[in-house]
Amino acid sequence: MDASRLDDLTKGVLATLILGGPMRLVKPFGPALALTIGVGRSVPDDEIRSRMDLMRIRVVRQVAPLDFLPPISAAEFALAAALNDLLQSANHLLSGPLTRGRHQKLLTATQTLLEAIPQPQTTLEVLTRHAAFSNAQKACRSDVIVRNRVTSSSFRGELPPKRLFLWKDLRRVTEDRTTVTLASMADGLKALPAQNFADALRAWLALSPLSDLATLTRATPPFAWSTPTLALVSYPIGRTLALRALARESLQSVVHSLRRAADSLVQGSRARAIAEGFASAVLERDGAR
């Protein structure tokens, strides 16, 4: 049973994060299964595993001269399961009129899972997580509103039924599509406060600190220093990796995001010193170009 769930997780979520393509969410895992499903296991499909390994190397080589990465770890499978469950918590199909509490219940379970997933302990672990999750911020949902002369119908991440487009010209049917970003997927869902979803997403991002830092100019959720990101930029190799990951970003945007994040740290604290030291390194690197 676990092997089947792992295959579903790999093909529906993890492989699409690494290789691209539409994500297919699967049944929520919950903390207990998510933490154990990848222990002692590898990607079940040999062909998909080979393609994933090749792409992971390509991602890592943008910041480090490596030609080999260890297999997907249990922690990375758990992170993929956590993302699946996080997105499922914002899925309007999760509940019915009498079961709206399922959304917050699943989000709370996902937060428990995120607290149990260990932070990366080595530079190699930082890199392997970045190889798997560097594209997570590109995840999106396509929403559709179909209107005619009389009614309108909304679809969150679903394809409208073909019957709505019958006699399209005669009934003056129009179709409006909206792309919803990862950070906005809980918007408009009354059963789940958007801020709760954003807090959980921020916690998920922090567990892949290089990926978190590489997207620090994002609008939402705004970048905030965490224990893993501060740990990464606190030593020379980690700081170099973070600088390389930000090399293509606008200096002005990077500095603005770093200053905003540093302002939330206690003045005079070690965390504030590390954050400000990294901001200085960004400016020094740009001045040396």
Range of 18's domain?
1-137+195-208
**Residue 200 shares a structural domain with residue 58:** yes
Q: Are 157 and 236 in a shared domain?
A: no
Claim to verify: residue 7 and residue 120 sit in the same structural domain: yes
Q: Looking at the structure, tell me whether residues 152 and 117 fall in a common domain.
A: no
d(CA 139, CA 207): 17
Instruction: Quick: pLDDT tens for 57-95.
Output: 999 999 999 999 999 999 999 999 999 999 999 998 888
| 150 and 53 part of one domain | no
The total domain count for the chain is 3
- HSE (side-chain half, CA atoms, 13 Å) at 109: 23
Residues 70 and 151 both lie in one domain = no
For the segment 91-142, what is each residue's pLDDT rounded down to a tens digit? Answer: 988 888 888 899 999 999 999 999 999 999 999 999 999 999 999 999 988 8
Spell out the residues 6+ positions from residue 44 whose beta carbon is closer than 8 angstroms to its own.
3, 6, 7, 10
Residues 108 and 174 in one domain: no
- Domain shared by 155 and 75, yes or no: no
Q: pLDDT, tens digit, for every residue of 171-224?
A: 888 888 888 889 999 998 889 999 999 999 999 999 999 999 999 999 889 999
pTM of the entire predicted model: 0.91
Predicted local distance difference test score (pLDDT) of residue 69: 96
Within this chain, do residues 30 and 118 fall inside the same structural domain, yes or no? Answer: yes
190 assigned to some structural domain: no
* CA distances from residue 230 to 16, 132, 136, 234 in whole angstroms, order as listed: 29, 21, 21, 6
Determine the average pLDDT of the residues in 234-263.
Answer: 96
Task: Give the integer Cα–Cα distance in Å for 179 and 122.
Answer: 36
The single residue listed with the structure tokens 């299964």 is 33
pLDDT tens sequence across 26-59? 999 999 999 999 999 999 899 999 999 999 999 9
99, 18: one domain: yes
